[in-house]
């Protein structure tokens, strides 16, 4: 057994140079490739603060009916796009129409009791010209005339003094009836106002059987089904505004000094290569004691509805301070298995170097580690491999 182990170790040691030589032969066998070089340049860029955040709808509302009833129609569903003022749901209306007719009839009756036409919007009246008050005025005038005549006849000795008490009592009764008539008319006026209010309420309740969207957006959740009896205030739909979105992020305390309302932000989400723009609109007045962070909120443009509320996002805030950065063309970066690298040229052969990259500005990308300003990198290396012979056909940069 010991002899077998020794023989296997000897065999492996003999094969290793052979494998290395084979790889070298493969590189040597590759044809010389023409390459273009670009010089890594140092540029002054505005400082960027990066932080994780979360997107949320700028407005969210749970829609419900103000009146109770059976849901007869639901015009939208989960994900449906809606516009402000759009009708989204409807209750059965028969009961509400009957109540409206009943309130209208009661109003007509109240107008008729005041001597007004059953139909009309003008409720003004002359109290003294109403039937009940006119009758009371006539009785009062008669009682007054009888009293005056009796007093004159008593003074002349034609009638006895006892008749004075009788006519005075009759006059006071007529006066009281006149006041009662005025109060009755005012009471009928109050009833008329009440009936008109009841009609307005019945008309409003009929209008409340329709549910409208309060803003442009989309349906986040459907919470009722057709045929279901809903009490007043029962949730029917949850809707959200999709533009603009609100982004909430927490920035380290050390970066808080450079943050101002109105600063531009760039937002990216996982799985989407596009960058979305926005601006800071709200800053917390205090630093969070537990995390030592500043809470900020930004409005993010989402006219195309590509972003979704609730998604995690990465936010970059451009501050007023400046910093230097090493920049190379974005086409010079090669990514393999999650590792970024660039190719350089040394002694006519390709040389690999791992790098770390930062932000992208136009067609240039920041290299934060692994490369110095002035070094030349291969642009668009394609399938270039380590050690392959190259021929420089052009160079750009200083």
> Distance between CA 126 and CA 132 in Å, rounded?
12
Radius of gyration, alpha carbons of the chain: 46
Instruction: Identify whether residues 372 and 390 lie together within a single domain.
Output: yes
Q: pLDDT confidence of 158, banded at 50, 70, 90?
A: confident
pLDDT-derived band at 42, boundaries 50, 70, 90: confident
- The reply to whether 151 and 78 lie within a common domain is no
Q: Quick check: 151 and 164 in contact, CB under 8 A?
A: yes
Residues 283 and 353 in one domain: yes
Position 22 in a domain: no
In a domain, 169, yes or no: yes
List, for residues 226-257, the tens digit of each pLDDT value.
999 999 999 999 999 999 999 999 988 887 87
Residue 1 within a domain: no
Shared domain for 76 and 144, answered yes or no, is: no
In whole angstroms, give the CA distance from residue 236 to residue 234: 6
Q: Where are the extended beta strands (E) located within 111-234? A: 210-212, 217-222, 229-230
Question: Of 377, 381, 387, which Cα lies nearest the Cα of 349?
Answer: 387
Q: Is residue 354 part of a domain?
A: yes
Distance CA(278)–CA(299), nearest Å, equals 5
| Number of domains comprising the chain | 3
Structural domain that includes position 151:
94-207
The distance from CA 293 to its chain's CA centroid, rounded to whole angstroms, is: 26
User: Do 261 and 328 fall into the same domain?
Assistant: yes
Nearest to 295 by CA among 285, 308, 309, 305: 285
Structure tokens given for 270: 């996982």
DSSP state of 59: -
Stretch (H or E) spanning 370: none
Considering only CA atoms, which of 255, 253, 205, 179 is closest in space to residue 102?
205
- pLDDT average, residue stretch 336-351: 89
Whether residue 222 contacts residue 237, with contact meaning beta carbons closer than 8 Å, is answered with yes
CATH number at residue 390: 2.40.30.170
- Lowest-confidence pick of 162-176, 283-297, 312-326: 312-326
197 occurs within a structural domain: yes
Q: What is the CATH number of the domain that holds 232?
A: 2.40.50.100
Q: In this structure, is residue 303 part of a structural domain?
A: yes
Query: In this structure, are 105 and 77 located in the same domain?
Result: no
Q: How far apart are CA 197 and CA 59, in angstroms?
A: 34
Q: How far apart are CA 284 and CA 261, in angstroms?
A: 11
Are residue 275 and residue 392 in the same domain, yes or no?
Answer: yes
If you average pLDDT over residues 41-55, what whole number do you get? 84
Tokens representing 220 are: 């986040």
> Residue 7: inside a domain, yes or no?
no
Q: How many residues does the chain have?
A: 398
Q: Looking at the structure, do residues 334 and 359 belong to the same domain, yes or no?
A: yes
Burial label, 340 (beta-carbon count in 10 A; 0-12, 13-18, 19+): middle
Q: Which two tokens stand for residue 187?
A: 């009471």
Q: Is residue 84 part of a domain?
A: yes
CB count, 10 Å around CB of 65? 23
Kindly indicate the confidence band of residue 88, based on its pLDDT and cuts at 50, 70 and 90: very high
| One domain, residues 348 and 222 | no
């Amino acid at each position: 057994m010991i002899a077998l182990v020794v023989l296997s170790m000897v065999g492996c040691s003999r094969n290793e140079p052979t494998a290395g030589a084979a790889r070298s032969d493969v590189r040597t066998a590759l044809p010389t490739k023409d390459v273009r070089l670009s010089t890594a340049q140092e540029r002054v860029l505005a400082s960027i603060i990066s932080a994780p955040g979360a997107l949320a709808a700028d407005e969210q509302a749970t829609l419900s009916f103000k009146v109770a009833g059976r849901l007869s129609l639901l015009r939208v569903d989960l994900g449906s796009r809606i516009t402000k003022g759009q009708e989204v749901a409807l209750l059965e209306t028969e009961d509400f129409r009957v109540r409206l007719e009943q309130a209208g009839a009661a109003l007509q009756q109240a107008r008729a009791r005041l001597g007004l036409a059953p139909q009309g919007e003008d409720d003004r009246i002359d109290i003294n010209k109403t039937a009940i008050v006119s009758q009371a005025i006539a009785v009062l005038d008669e009682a007054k005339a009888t009293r005056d005549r009796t007093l004159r006849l008593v003074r002349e000795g034609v009638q006895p003094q006892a008749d004075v008490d009788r006519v005075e009592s009759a006059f006071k009764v007529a006066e009281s009836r006149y006041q009662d008539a005025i109060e009755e008319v005012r009471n009928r006026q109050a009833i008329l106002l009440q009936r008109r209010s009841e009609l307005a309420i019945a008309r409003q309740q009929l209008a409340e059987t329709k549910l409208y969207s309060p803003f442009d957006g989309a349906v986040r959740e459907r919470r009722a089904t057709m045929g279901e009896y809903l009490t007043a205030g029962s949730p029917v739909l949850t809707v959200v505004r999709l533009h603009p979105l609100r982004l909430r992020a927490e920035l380290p305390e050390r970066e808080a000094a450079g943050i101002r309302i109105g600063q531009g932000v760039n937002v990216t989400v996982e799985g989407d290569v596009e960058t979305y723009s926005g601006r800071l609109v709200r800053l917390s007045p205090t630093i969070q004691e537990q995390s030592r962070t500043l809470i900020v909120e930004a409005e993010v443009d989402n006219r195309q509805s590509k972003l979704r509320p609730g998604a995690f996002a990465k936010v970059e805030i451009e501050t007023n301070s400046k910093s230097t950065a090493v920049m190379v063309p974005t086409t010079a970066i090669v990514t393999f298995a999650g590792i970024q690298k660039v190719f350089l040229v040394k002694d006519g052969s390709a040389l690999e170097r791992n790098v770390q990259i930062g932000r992208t500005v136009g067609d240039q990308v920041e290299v934060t580690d692994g490369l110095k300003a002035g070094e030349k990198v291969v642009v668009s290396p394609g399938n270039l491999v380590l050690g392959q012979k190259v021929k420089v056909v052009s160079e750009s940069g200083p």
